[in-house]
């Protein structure tokens, strides 16, 4: 009788949708693996078809998709990929969404509104995801929307180290563009030697999307180099109004730092014409060549995602990647 060898060896597999395959290429290179060949195309009516070109049975699958515009298409494609993996007997499926679409809809502001960030989590769970991996969620409590482990990665140390290496820390103030992000500003301050923080008193009419009204600067920024931090730049209204308010309040220089460069509509024009000396972002979302401008710095998120994938695959510790951050 022939001997049957049982192998418990886990196989790491990385898959990508069509949202931003270049980021997946970079993550694969960091991990020293190849992306699993995948065919994906659209039917004439826009429906999406996906098929993996190799067996995925028993693998530890990481499905990376960037929720870039058109956001709904990228999300649907990722859901379909998860479904295909589940039906092809992948052992474990991790949805890697560096920018988690719909994160801003995390609560009801008024009656008869959805909580779309929760719906997203339910959709991934229903499709077959065992866990999620995300970067800088709009609000941390979104982790609780998903019924399973969520690896919440932070770009903050990377952004703060970069900014900290360029500025005179004795004249530095970290600025939150609204009261909701003051805790994040405190973390920046902790990493940069306890510099002062300030925030902008921002109000927003929930009936008008993508429109913020910037109020006054709370804190003394006279003669300071200010770093305005945010999770995302969408139309750049929030951040450029904050930059204006800081210069009006006497700031000497203003640097903008944000994780997710959504960069919709007027964003690039607004950033180009703002008085900020530098805009520092990561590539959790693709930035096209024609969106780049002098003063824009793009830091790669690929090494962080690769390290986190390795920790998950090897049953290591993702938390250890952020020791010192609370
Ligand atoms: C809001 O709460 C977010 O943290 C961002 O400040 C906002 O979504 C940025 O949007 P925009 O760039 O369109 O002002």
pLDDT per residue of the chain (326 residues) written in tens, 0 to 9: 556 666 556 699 999 999 999 999 999 999 999 999 999 999 999 999 999 999 999 999 999 999 999 999 999 999 999 999 999 999 999 999 999 999 999 999 999 999 999 999 999 999 999 999 999 999 999 999 999 999 999 999 999 999 999 999 999 999 999 999 999 999 999 999 999 999 999 766 677 776 666 579 999 999 999 999 999 999 999 999 999 999 999 999 999 999 999 999 999 999 999 999 999 999 999 999 999 999 999 999 999 999 999 999 999 999 999 976 76
CA distance 97 to 64: 6
CA distance 35 to 22: 11
CA distance 40 to 15: 12
Angle of the 21-31 helix axis to the 302-313 helix axis, nearest 10: 60
Catalytic (active site) residue 202: yes
Q: Do 12-154+303-322 and 156-299 fold alike per CATH?
A: yes
Going by CA atoms, what residue is nearest to atom 2 of ligand 1? Answer: 104
Which CATH architecture does the domain made up of 156-299 adopt? 3-Layer(aba) Sandwich (3.40)
CB 245 within 8 A of CB 212: no
Cα(179) to centroid(ligand 1), Å = 13
Q: What is the CATH number of domain 12-154+303-322?
A: 3.40.50.2020
Q: Which of 254, 252, 231 is nearest to 241 (CA)?
A: 254
Domain ranges of the chain: 12-154+303-322, 156-299
CB 71 within 8 A of CB 318: no
Catalytic pick among 86, 108, 125, 202: 202
**Vertex 293: Cα angle to 287 and 299 (nearest 5):** 50
CA distance 159 to 174: 12
| C-beta of 212 in contact with ligand 1 (< 6 A) | yes
CB 60 within 8 A of CB 135: no
């Amino acid at each position: 009788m022939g001997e049957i060898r049982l192998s418990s060896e886990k196989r790491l597999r990385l898959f990508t949708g069509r949202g931003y395959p270049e980021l997946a290429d970079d993550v694969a290179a960091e991990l020293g693996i190849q992306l699993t060949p995948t065919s994906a195309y659209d039917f004439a009516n826009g429906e999406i078809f996906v098929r993996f070109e190799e067996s995925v049975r028993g693998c530890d699958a990481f499905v990376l998709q960037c929720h870039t515009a058109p956001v709904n298409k990228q999300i649907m494609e990722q859901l379909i990929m998860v479904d295909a993996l589940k039906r092809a007997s992948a052992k474990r499926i991790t949805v890697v969404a560096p920018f988690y679409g719909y994160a801003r809809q995390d609560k009801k502001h008024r009656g008869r509104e959805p909580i779309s960030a929760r719906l997203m989590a339910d959709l991934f769970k229903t499709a077959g995801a065992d866990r999620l991996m995300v970067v800088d969620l709009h609000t941390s409590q979104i982790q609780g929307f998903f019924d399973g482990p969520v690896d919440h990665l932070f770009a903050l140390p990377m952004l703060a180290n970069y900014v900290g290496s360029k500025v005179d820390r004795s004249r530095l103030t970290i600025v939150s563009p609204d009261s909701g992000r003051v805790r994040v500003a405190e973390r920046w301050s902790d990493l940069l030697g306890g510099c002062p923080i300030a925030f902008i008193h921002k109000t927003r009419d929930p009936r008008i999307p993508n429109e913020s009204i910037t109020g006054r600067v709370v804190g003394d920024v006279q003669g300071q180099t200010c770093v305005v931090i945010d999770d995302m730049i969408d139309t750049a209204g929030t951040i450029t109004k904050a930059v204006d308010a800081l210069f009006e309040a006497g700031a000497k220089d203003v640097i903008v730092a944000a994780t997710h460069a959504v960069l919709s509509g007027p964003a690039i024009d607004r950033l180009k014409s703002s008085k900020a000396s530098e805009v520092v972002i990561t590539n959790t979302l693709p930035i096209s060549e024609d969106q780049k401008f002098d003063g824009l710095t793009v830091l790669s998120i690929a090494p962080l995602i690769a390290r986190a994938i390795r920790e998950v695959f090897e049953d290591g510790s993702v938390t250890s990647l952020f020791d010192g951050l609370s």
